[in-house]
Amino acid sequence: MTESDKQRPIRSFVLRHGRMTRGQQRGLDEGWPQFGLERDAGLLDAPAAFGREAPVVLEIGFGMGLSLVAMAAADPQTNFVGVEVHRPGVGKLMHTMLEEGVDNIRVYCDDAVQVLQDCIAPESLDRVQIFFPDPWHKKRHHKRRLIQPDFVELLCSRLRPGGLLHLATDWENYAEHILEVLSASEQLVNCSAESGYVPRPEQRPLTKFEQRGQRLGHGVWDILFQRS
């Protein structure tokens, strides 16, 4: 292992350069000037980006963005910021926003860790949501899981006091890992009365992926903590 390999951060994602569909490319071309955010611009000025003062929710890793658009459409009084590294997903999100007339989402196409460090001010977020992050299910890959103590402390620093951290996964082993890491943080309190999992909150849409999993008998674990 070279010295540069030792210094290179462990990433929780593999950047795939998939082909963009016409709709995804059109969504990116037409939507980015209005909805796109650049990490190089520095700290996010949410009132300026959205044209209003409102609670801010950050979603990390929104995939193709269908559930994020549904949440934003159902809660137009909230400002949503999405972070996703995969351009086809960003294009699909923006295509759906334009089709459905949803305009209360702004998007970074970038690494979430760097966005949090460079662009999100301390105590500026009302909620952070991370739904179905890559479980990296093989034991030798567990170090690549997004939810690690250092990352959780970074999230806590960006949440306002009383802000919520909501995660969901369909891998029981990862759910146990997330629960252990979050429970160890002195800044977080579990919203479950039994200090375990919570029922799916109404604001999180039931995805087609979940519906299929339910038919096959697969479980989904929602984890909700509050910054103390």
Q: Which residues are tagged catalytic?
A: 134
Q: Residue 67 to residues 46, 48, 130, 209, 210: CA-CA distances in angstroms? A: 22, 25, 12, 11, 12
Coil, helix or strand at residue 25: helix
Query: Can you tell me the distance from the alpha carbon of 195 to that of 225, in angstroms, rounded to the nearest whole number?
Result: 10
What number of CA atoms fall less than 13 Å from residue 40's CA on the CB side? 0
CA angle 35, 39, 40 (to 5 degrees): 120
**Can you read off the two tokens belonging to residue 184?**
């160890």
Determine the residue type at 135: P
Coil, helix or strand at residue 176: helix
Coil, helix or strand at residue 40: helix
| Residues 190 and 129: beta-carbon distance below 8 Å | no
